Structure formats: C-alpha cells, structure tokens
Amino acid sequence: MAISRLEVNIGRLKLKNPIMPASGTFGVESSQVLDVSKLGAIVPKSVTLNPREGNAPARIVETVAGLVNSVGIQNKGAQHFVDELIPFYEQFNTPIIASASAFSVEEFKRITEIFNKCKAIGGIELNISCPNLEEGGKSFGMSCDSSYQVVKAVRENTDKIIIPKLSPNVTDIVEIAVVCQEAKADAVTVANTFTSMVIDIETRKPKLANVVGGLSGPAIKPIILRMVWQVAKVVDIPVIGVGGITNYEDALEYIIAGATAVQVGVASFANPNTMIEIIQGIERFMAERNIDSMESLRKSIIV
C-alpha cells in the first residue's frame, strides 16, 4: 500500500495525517457533523480518576479573537471513559489518544493503570496544566521537577505513548519540554491555554464564576507558534502544536516551525468541519508543489 504524503508518526503511533482535535473540544457528538475516520487521531476530553461536575457557570466567555473557558474538567471518570466511550471511538479505525488530568502523581498513575487495560488506547496525553494539590495548587507544568515526576511515574507504569501537554504560563517552556523528554516522554503538546480573565464593566464583576480561565483561539497563535519553534529546535521527540489554528495555512505554519502534528480546538465550534477542510487544504498545497511528505515540510523554516 502506498504511503500517504500526509502520514506522520508520533512515536509508534502511525497517523494518516497530522490533524487531530484539541482535548476538550471534541466528543461523541462530533461524529454527527464530521467524518471522524478522516482524522489523524482522536483526542477526547480530559478525564480524571473520579467523576467531576466541573466549575459553576458561567464557564465560557467569548472575547476578541478568542474564548476564555473555566469548565473545570467536567467528566464521569476514567473507568466510565474506558467502559462507555472507548467502544464508540473504536469504530473509526483511528488512533485514540486519551487525555488524563489529575491532582497528584498517584492519581496520574492510577488513571494510567485503568488506561493500560484498554488496548484501543494508543497514547496518553498528560494534562500537566492542572493544579498539583500536593504542592499547594501550583500546576505540574509550572515546574521542571513536578513535570518530570509526572512523566517519570507514568512512564514506569505504561508502555503506551505518553505526551505531556505543556503550559504556556511559564518563564521558559523549553526547559519544561527538555525535562519531559528526559523523563522518557514520546512527544510533547505545545501548549495549553493562557490564564486570563474578562470583566463585566457594568457589574464590575468577572464574567467567569471561577474569576479566571484559559484563553484559546486565534489571539494566541503567534505566541504558541513561537513556542513550538523554540521547543522543536531543542528536543528530539515530536512536538504537537496547538493554539489558534483555524485553517490549513495556520496548520502549515506550525509544521514549518517544527511541529509533527497539530490540534484544532475552538475553530471547530464555529465550523465543525474545520479539521476536514484543513486536511484537504494541506493535501492540495502539497500536491500543487509536488511535496511528497510531511517530513519535507516539518522544520523547514528559513531564518
């Protein structure tokens, strides 16, 4: 069988193309509006060890060129995810990257044990931007040491592909990526949302019940693109870029900067078929220029 020009590898995972959803922006209902089998990978919403109701409303606020959310990882727990949702996602014959969020290293290990029993899960994205309750609520991804400890603990408990999702709310995201590689991560996702807030000037109160939330959308693309470029220059593992991608040109910018694959988030809310259009756009771009592989484009930035 001929190899598709769009095919990429994330560790042992073979993806038919570099496009996947960003965790939290994709669910079972997505299959009603797009052909999931055409995606490079499936990344469902993050799950925690135990069920969570999430934060109180209001939880989502639109802002200029972006969306600020504080959903609070509402989910029914890791075991429910494996028992009830994985069988649905299996039908699409597309690699499944489960997203784990936890509040201690031990919880990450226990979620990993649950995922280990599910053959259909090909990779685990570690949401290390969540608060580490063992260290006073500071997120794991804010510290080299805690990032290393999470990845190391998960690596010791699974043979599955592991991909820590890094926080952009740090002084130097490159050093976090490096320690994740040292802890034997197979790839890194760059990056999660920016801590933000929005105020109602009439009430003088925050528009989010949780006061602060995470900013995503087109506003953050140039910043994350810079981070992807910086990280890709230093690490030897694949970088998955995410942040503000709305069309195939955005995706190609990330790949040229050094990303092996990209994730699409809030753009799919406005246009549920965005990911499919991006795949088609990249295919067309490569065909018109006789580019035969994604690797030929990756890291091809000229500076």
Specify the pairing of strand 205-206 against strand 121-127. unpaired
**Greatest C-alpha distance within the chain:** 62
- Sign of the Cα torsion 1, 163, 233, 17 reads positive
Angle, helices 105-116 vs 144-155, to 10°: value is 30
Cα–Cα distances in Å, from 82 out to 23, 91, 113? 16, 14, 11
Contact 34, 276 (CB under 8 A): yes
Residue 180 annotated in active site: no
Q: What's the CA gap between 163 and 239, in Å, rounded?
A: 9
DSSP codes, 63-120: ETTEEEE-----BS-HHHIIIIIHHHHHTT-S-EEEEEE-SSHHHHHHHHHHHHT-TT
**Strand ranges in 247-289 using DSSP code E only, listed in sequence order:** 261-264
Structure tokens at 213: 């939330």
Contacts of residue 289, defined as CB under 8 A and 6 or more positions apart, other chains included, come to none
Q: What's the CA gap between 19 and 41, in Å, rounded?
A: 7
Which listed residue (118, 130, 144, 180) is catalytic?
Answer: 130
Q: What's the CA gap between 109 and 162, in Å, rounded?
A: 12
200: enclosing H helix or E strand = strand 199-200
Residues known to be catalytic: 130
